[in-house]
Every structure is written in structure tokens, then in C-alpha cells.
């Protein structure tokens, strides 16, 4: 299976590499600026960001190993295996360097592992002078509430809970965001902070996923874009009513497709509670969802027969002339 077939919560960040800031007279694309990437194990998220095209990616590990006093409650030694040298030194009053570490945007790619460290660094950057870590804007003092931070902050997943191997749901990135916003509110009352959240159930994430589906369908059908047409029906399968089902129900396709939602009981959702967003169908697991959707579209649910029908039509399993497909997004 190709990586193009997967859409994770942070995948739409790839569309931002050519983004430019209106305040930047040089109009340098974001891919050529330095960004801070938080979350994930080790430097996995850094490598993912680089695969998207970002060329200067800094992580909290790089910062804490370069400046251990920036957060004295974390041992830098635990980060050295995944740290890289900073592209420029961090500003300090005694610094003699003419260039200092400047962060243009902050991305929370995945659930942060050290909430305290990441919270402190994000606040430092948001309150800095033009993203120069170690500085503070004169108008960012808690008593100055008229100007919001001008460093973009992106979250990739609003999910408060997720299903792990533990028998009860665990806090996800949405939990970190809520905690961060709580700290911000308490320390900088009155200063607005509008971090951009993508991921389910956002319109942007579903639109990105549909574009990927359309591209994948064209490749399966070996049909030019102008001849392939759009999707008629998409089935959104998920275990979280607050992201998967809400997103599928609310999504307004700019391409004219219709979306049906299927809630599975094999993850976050439990029958003991009424889902806040009603799905079209509730089933036990993903396989049951696939079977229900295929039957609804008039496809045989027997694997061998389904393969024969696909071969006969020559248009690809599940992506035939019915223009229907299944999609699950991480």
C-alpha cells in the first residue's frame, strides 16, 4: 500500500509548505523557514515534517539539549539521542551572535510526550519578538492585552480521548490543547490566542482526504483527471462520535460527493452512552462497516465474488463506476 493512501491528522500540514506570510516582504515560503514541531516519539515527527518538504525543523529536544536551563525540570540527557544542533543559537543578553534562532510557525504534529516542556517553549515563542526565542515583545507582558501573538500555532488533532491498549480511554492531543489554553488563560488574561486546529472534524482535513481519494481513484482507473469525474458516495468509518462522525456528518464537499458515517464499537465509543453525533449506521467493527457499505452499494460481500465483479468491470474494487469508496482517517 502506498503512503498516498493514508491520511493522518497532520498530513494536511504538507499543503502549507508554500505558504507565505503577508508581513514577509521577501515572501519566503514556509518550507524554507525554521519551524518548531512538537509531539511524537523521538524525532519521528521531525522526519515526517521533512518528508512533507519542510527544510528547517526544530524540536523541543534540540532546544532543551542546547539550553538546559530553559526548563530546569527536564533532564536533557533523556533527549540527546534524538536532538540535533540548532540552526542558530538561542538569544540571551550576553549573546554575541548576529543571528539567533527564529521560529516562524509552531506545529503540534502528534500528542506531546512532555506537556510541561512543550507548553513552556510554545509560550516563549508566542510571546517573543518576531519568533526569536529568548526575547519578549514589549506588548506581550500580561498587563498589555491589546495585541495577540503573531506566530502561527497549529494543532493537528482535537480529540480529547483515544482508545489505547488500556481498558479506559486516554487523553489525546485535545487534552494537551485544553491544558495549554488553560495555562495561557491564567498567565496572560485578556490576550487572545487563536491556534488553528486541523484534523477531524475540520472541513480542511475532510477536503484534503477527499482530494486524496479522488487521486487514488484516478490511478486505479488509469483515467485522466478531466475524464475520471468525482466521487458519488464516501463512507466515513470511525470510533469517535466527536471527530469521525461529527466530521463526516458536517462535511460539505466542494466536489459534490455525499458522505455517510458508520460508527464502530471497537474503539472510543461505548453503547453505554448516546453518541452526541448520530451516525447513519452503528456496527461492531470495521469489517462489519465494510460489509454494510458494500451491501448498500449493491456489491457482493463475498470476497471472491467481489474480486470477480471488480475484474469484470475493470474499474477497481470499491472504486467502480458507482463512484463509491471507503475511507478511514487517522
CA angle 88, 94, 97 (to 5 degrees): 30
Query: What is the pLDDT at residue 303?
Result: 59
Give me the phi and psi of 261, to 5 degrees please.
Answer: -110, 140
Q: Locate cell 458508520: which residue?
A: 262
How many angstroms from the chain centroid is the CA of residue 80? 26
Q: Which residues pair with 197 in a beta bridge?
A: 155
Helix spans in 232-276 (H): 246-250
Query: What is the pLDDT at residue 120?
Result: 97
Query: What is the pLDDT at residue 68?
Result: 96
Q: State the SS3 of 181-238.
A: HHHHHHHCCCCCCCCEECCCCCHHHHHHHHHHHHHHHHHHHCCCHHHHCCCCEEEEEE
pLDDT of 310 above 90: no
Query: What is the pLDDT at residue 307?
Result: 52
pLDDT of 327 above 80: no
Mean pLDDT over each residue of the chain, to the nearest integer:
85
Q: pLDDT of 131-161, one tens digit each?
A: 999 998 876 555 554 456 779 999 998 888 8
Q: How confident is the model at residue 237 (pLDDT cuts 50, 70, 90)?
A: very high
Query: What is the pLDDT at residue 143?
Result: 53
The answer to whether the CB of 231 falls within 8 A of the CB of 220 is: no
pLDDT of 322 above 90: no
Give the pLDDT mean for 171-196: 88
Query: What is the pLDDT at residue 59?
Result: 98
Strand bridging mode 161-162 / 170-171: antiparallel
Q: pLDDT above 90 covers what percent of the chain?
A: 55
* 3-class secondary-structure state, position 81: helix
Q: Nearest to residue 133, comparing CAs of 59, 196, 83?
A: 59
Q: Quick one: CA torsion of 47, 48, 52, 55, rounded to 10 degrees?
A: -30
More confident residue, 311 or 248: 248
Query: What is the pLDDT at residue 198?
Result: 87
Give the pLDDT mean for 78-85: 95
pLDDT of 243 above 60: yes
Give the pLDDT mean for 38-60: 96
Q: What is the gyration radius of the CA atoms in the chain, in angstroms?
A: 23
Model's pTM, two decimal places?
0.79
Query: What is the pLDDT at residue 147?
Result: 59
More confident residue, 306 or 206: 206
* 3-class secondary-structure state, position 173: helix
Query: What is the pLDDT at residue 54?
Result: 97
Question: Cα–Cα distances in Å, from 88 out to 66, 107, 150, 211?
Answer: 10, 19, 21, 38
**Buried residues in 3-31 as b, exposed as e (16+ CB within 10 A):** eeeebbbbbbbeebeeeebeeeeeeebbb
More confident residue, 21 or 128: 128
Query: What is the pLDDT at residue 266?
Result: 84
Query: What is the pLDDT at residue 235?
Result: 95
pLDDT of 88 above 70: yes
Q: Nearest to residue 227, comparing CAs of 246, 214, 244?
A: 214
Question: Cα–Cα distances in Å, from 103 out to 32, 133, 151, 205, 251?
Answer: 11, 7, 8, 25, 33
Which of the residue ranges 20-29, 228-237, 276-285 would you say has the lowest mean pLDDT?
20-29
Q: Locate cell 463509491: which residue?
A: 324
Give the pLDDT mean for 8-20: 89
Q: How confident is the model at residue 71 (pLDDT cuts 50, 70, 90)?
A: very high
Amino acid at each position: 500500500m502506498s503512503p498516498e493512501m493514508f491520511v493522518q491528522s497532520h498530513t494536511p500540514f504538507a499543503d502549507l509548505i508554500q505558504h507565505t506570510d503577508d508581513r514577509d516582504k521577501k515572501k519566503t515560503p514556509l518550507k524554507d523557514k525554521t519551524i518548531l514541531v512538537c509531539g511524537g516519539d523521538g524525532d519521528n515527527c521531525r522526519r515526517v515534517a521533512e518528508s512533507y518538504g519542510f527544510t528547517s525543523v526544530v524540536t523541543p529536544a534540540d532546544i532543551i539539549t542546547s539550553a538546559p536551563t530553559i526548563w530546569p525540570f527536564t533532564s536533557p540527557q533523556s533527549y540527546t539521542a534524538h536532538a540535533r544542533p540548532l540552526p542558530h543559537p538561542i538569544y540571551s543578553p550576553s549573546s554575541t551572535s548576529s543571528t539567533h534562532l527564529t521560529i516562524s510557525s509552531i506545529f503540534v504534529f502528534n500528542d506531546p510526550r512532555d506537556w510541561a516542556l512543550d507548553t513552556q517553549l510554545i509560550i516563549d515563542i508566542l510571546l517573543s519578538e518576531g519568533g526569536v526565542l529568548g526575547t519578549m515583545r514589549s506588548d506581550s507582558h500580561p498587563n498589555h492585552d491589546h495585541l495577540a501573538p503573531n506566530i502561527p500555532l497549529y494543532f493537528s488533532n482535537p480529540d480529547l480521548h483515544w482508545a489505547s491498549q488500556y481498558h479506559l480511554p486516554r487523553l489525546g492531543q485535545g487534552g494537551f490543547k485544553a491544558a495549554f489554553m488553560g495555562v495561557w488563560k491564567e498567565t496572560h488574561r485578556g490576550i487572545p490566542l487563536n491556534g488553528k486546529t486541523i484534523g477531524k472534524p475540520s472541513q480542511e482535513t475532510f477536503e484534503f482526504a477527499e482530494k486524496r481519494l479522488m487521486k487514488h481513484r484516478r490511478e486505479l482507473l488509469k483515467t485522466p483527471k478531466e475524464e475520471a469525474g468525482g466521487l458519488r458516495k464516501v463512507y466515513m468509518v470511525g470510533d469517535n462520535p466527536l471527530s469521525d462522525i461529527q466530521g463526516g456528518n458536517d462535511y460539505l464537499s466542494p466536489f459534490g460527493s455525499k458522505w455517510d458515517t458508520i460508527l464502530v464499537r471497537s474503539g472510543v465509543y461505548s453503547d453505554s452512552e448516546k453518541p452526541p453525533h448520530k451516525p447513519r449506521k452503528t456496527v461492531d467493527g470495521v469489517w462489519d462497516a465494510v460489509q454494510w457499505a458494500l451491501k448498500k452499494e449493491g456489491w457482493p460481500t463475498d470476497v471472491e465474488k467481489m474480486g470477480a465483479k471488480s475484474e469484470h468491470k475493470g474499474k477497481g474494487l470499491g472504486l467502480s463506476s458507482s463512484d463509491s469508496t471507503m475511507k478511514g482517517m487517522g
